[in-house]
Structure 1
Amino acid sequence: MAPLNSLEKEYPLIDSNFQTFCASHSIYSVEDFLLHDLDALFTSAANHSTSHRLKQGIHQLLSIVDVLHPPLLNGLQLLQDSKRNKHVLSTGSERVDEFLGGGLREGQLTELVGPSSSGKTQVCSMSASTAAKHKGSVIYLDTSNSFSPQRIAHFVGQSSDYVSGNQADHRLLQNILDRIICYPVFDVYQMFDLLRQLEINFRSEIVKSDRHVQLLIVDSISSLITPILRGSGPQGHALMISVGFLLKKLAHEHNIAVLVTNHVVGGEDGNSKPALGESWKSVPHVRLLLSRECGSNVCNISIIKHPAMASGRTATSSRLFD
């Protein structure tokens, strides 16, 4: 759920005075607000000189929660929505698509976990170029200067025999790159603001039907979240869960496939494990572990978590991501 400072533009009652009041009660996000004793909060507000406006702000936050709360759906409604609205997007790799039963599913958040050079950004670039080639728009949040137009051109060339100098192929590449909208993002609050603006745009139909966003990529999400977890206690974890909530909300409500990358860290037993800890692992619908065997081009992809497939299932190939 959103941090309070990202709501001020849209909701004037959530101003700096109200945020200062909330901060005095360790409330920095909508989630913090929900975890707080509301009776105690109203009582505290009554002791301030601006008590009336503070109480209005509390009611404003309650109304925001009502809007954010998803409607209750039964199993049949969820199945119908999945069949009607949640399509599968190809990753651009036949082997990965076959492994995943078609590719990335709209409405789901898929996480790629792996060490450096394991192929995470490669899968992101392949998926972006494939979605754009099939007339879908892609939002690419680049948190570590990893986005490369040259890499997109390489994947387009592999799939369409693109030859530099051929005018028709050059136009194809231009159209594909035009459909991939890249935002450099180096701060989690900046990402919140951007995601909130995207949500407003989707709701107000600013995005034209022929430029429907099919894929949202965050490469890498761990580089944004890890800094706020260091020494920030509950606030950092609340922000992390809020990021996941908003990404999943966008995926479900607007039929978007969300793809994020996450690095690995050393565990207590000496084995590598996904970063961001226990609180994050329940957020993604799908978690995939990527790796390359040392000194070779052999790639591995394993299922850590999947709603329809068994954990631990693995595929290995020397051309997995080609």
Structure 2
Amino acid sequence: MPPLKNLEQEFPIIDAEFRQFCSSHGIFSVEDFLVNDLYSLAAFAEGEAISDKLKQGIAQVLSIIDRQHQPWLNGLELLEDAQMKKRFLPTGCQWVDSLLQGGLREGHLVELAGPSSSGKTQLCLRAAAHIADRKLGTIMFLDTGNSFSPERVSSFLDPSTTSSSLPKEAQERRCRRVMSSILCRSVFDIFELQDVLNRLSITLGRKGKDEATRLRLLVIDSISSLITPILGGRDSHGRSLMVSAGYALKRLADESNLCVLVTNHMVGGEGGLPKPALGESWKSIPHVRLLLSREHGSHISTVSVLRHTSMAPGGAAKFAIDGGQPIAVSPD
């Protein structure tokens, strides 16, 4: 949940004066309200010269907390939501989209795990280019390690419409249109990510429903580079931050009807076998977990399903990206 300071723009009552009162009682975020005695806090507010304003601020924060609670839905409502509101975003790789029964699904948090040089960033950039090129909406790319490459994005444009027969001016306009639909921002730690997600949630809640410009895909490359530094040792605080960030991503995907695609690196597991990083606390958070691998010296990548909400794990497909263009190889 967001720091109180991040809420002032949308809720002016949560101003510096209100936050100073809260901080004097050890409250700095919405989450802190959940672990404090609100009756005692209200009693303290009564003794202040601006008691009415403080009580209004407390009521406002409580209403924000109440909005975080998901309503109960019956099976029919869930089915209608899945069929009517959540559509698929094609990645531009034929066999990957076929494996995922259409592509990346809106409302889902999708994890793409794999070792270095397996093609994780390439697949993210390919999906961003394809979605932008089809005018399906806007893409936001949160770059944690200088992995975003505009040159690689432009190289992924469909060759059938970038041939020499297309006027150079038209090619340039198309490239500018695609690139202007992809927003990139560097994020270097988990706290900056939380701040970005809080602001993004507020911004998306205010915007209209313009389908051509609505945010469709949020890419975080990579989520593990943000979380790994806060893990380790016996202190559970790092794991709590990780779980909080994971559920914030899921909530953003569901409430804003977009797909969140995150990449994760591999670490040594039992018997020396590699496994996705971030441990047991993370593995149950994403709706979909995909494993990407590539044999040494090969340009063929294999993507397999580790976890999916609507299909059994174990399915796999192969694809190649050669010279910037995806080449369908065959499903496994």
* TM-score of the pair, normalised by structure 1: 0.85
Deviates more, 1:164-173 or 1:203-212: 203-212
CA distance in 1, matches of 2:304, 2:69: 33
The answer on 1:197 being equivalent to 2:199 is yes
* CA shift digits 1:40-76 (9 cap, x unpaired): x755896898797988776554332201112221111
Q: Do 2:93 and 2:319's aligned partners in 1 also have CA atoms closer than 8 Å?
A: no
Q: TM-score, normalised by structure 2?
A: 0.83
Among the aligned pairs, what percent are the same residue?
A: 48
Matches within 5 A, 1:92-111: 92-111=92-111
Q: Which amino acid aligns with 1:245?
A: Y
Q: Which runs of 5+ in 1 are unaligned?
A: none
Q: Which residue of 1 aligns with 2:73?
A: 73
Asked if residue 214 in structure 1 is aligned to residue 211 in structure 2, the reply is no
* Residues 215 and 256, structure 1, Cα contact 8 Å, conserved in 2: yes
Q: What is residue 279 of structure 2 aligned with on the other side? A: 277
**Corresponding residue of 2:152:** 151
After superposition, the C-alpha distances for 1:140-196 in whole angstroms (9 at most, x for unaligned) are: 111111111101111015453355971111111110101111111112222222222
Residues 1:75 and 1:32: Cα distance change in structure 2 (over 3 Å): farther
- Measure the CA separation in 2 of the matches of 1:198 and 1:119: 28
Correspondence for 2:316 among 300, 314, 317? 314
Matches within 5 A, 1:1-322: 1-2=1-2, 6-7=6-7, 10=10, 12=14, 15=19, 18-19=22-23, 21-22=25-26, 30=30, 34=34, 36=35, 38-39=36-37, 60-135=60-135, 136-158=137-159, 160-162=161-163, 166-205=168-207, 208-231=210-233, 233-318=235-320, 321-322=326-327
SS in 1 for 2:284: coil
- In structure 1, distance between residues paired with 2:308 and 2:250: 15
Please identify, of 312-321 and 206-215, the stretch whose mean Cα deviation from structure 2 is larger: 312-321
Q: Per the alignment, in what secondary structure is the counterpart of residue 271 of structure 2?
A: coil
Q: Aligned partners of 1:8 and 1:308: how far apart in 2? A: 40
Compare 46-55 and 202-211 and name the one that shifted more. Answer: 46-55
User: AA paired with 1:142?
Assistant: D
Change (3 A) 1:138 1:145: same
Moved more, 57-66 or 129-138: 57-66
Aligned residues of 2:99 and 2:315 also touching (Cα < 8 A)? no
Find the aligned partners of 2:257 and 2:10 in 1 and give their Cα distance: 24
Report the RMSD for the aligned CA atoms in angstroms: 3.0
Number of residues paired by the alignment? 315
Offset of residue 213 of structure 1: 1.2
Unmatched tracts of structure 2, length 5 or more? 328-332
Change in Cα spacing, 1:64 to 1:170, as seen in structure 2 (3 Å) is: same
Change (3 A) 1:42 1:182: same
Please report how far the alpha carbon of residue 295 of structure 1 lies from its aligned counterpart in structure 2 after TM superposition.
2.9
User: Post-superposition shift, 1:208?
Assistant: 4.5
| Aligned equivalents of 2:19, 2:277: Cα separation in 1 | 34
Give per-residue Cα distances to partners, 1:76-110, cap 9 Å, x unaligned.
11111121111101001001111111100111111
* Residues 4 and 19 in structure 1, CA contact (< 8 A), matched pair in contact too: no
Cα distance in 1 between the residues matched to 2:256 and 2:40: 39
Whole-angstrom CA distance in 2 between matches of 1:273 and 1:315: 19
Letter in 2 for 1:83: Q
* 1:220-239 alpha-carbon deviations (Å, 9 max, x no partner): 11111222224583332222
Cα distance change of structure 1 residues 233 and 29 upon mapping to structure 2, 3 Å threshold: farther
| Stretch of structure 1 that moved more, 151-160 or 132-141 | 151-160
Deviation sequence 1:214-254 (CA, Å, 0-9, x none): 11111111111222224583332222222222221221122
Q: Could you say if the C-alpha distance between residues 146 and 119 of structure 1 is closer, same or farther in structure 2, counting changes exceeding 3 Å? A: same
Contact 2:96 2:319 (C-alpha < 8 Å) held by counterparts: no
Q: CA deviation at 1:265?
A: 1.2
| Contact persistence 1:300–1:316 (CA under 8 A) | yes
Alignment deviations for residues 100-143 of structure 1 (CA, whole Å, 9 cap, x no partner): 11100111111100111111111110110111112111111111
Give distance in 1, aligned partners of 2:39 and 2:273: 48
Structure 2 distance, partners of 1:169, 1:75, is: 48
Structure 2: how far apart are the matches of 1:280 and 1:45?
37
> How far is the alpha carbon of 1:307 from its aligned partner?
0.8
With over 3 angstroms needed to count, the CA separation of the structure-2 counterparts of 1:162 and 1:188, relative to structure 1, is farther
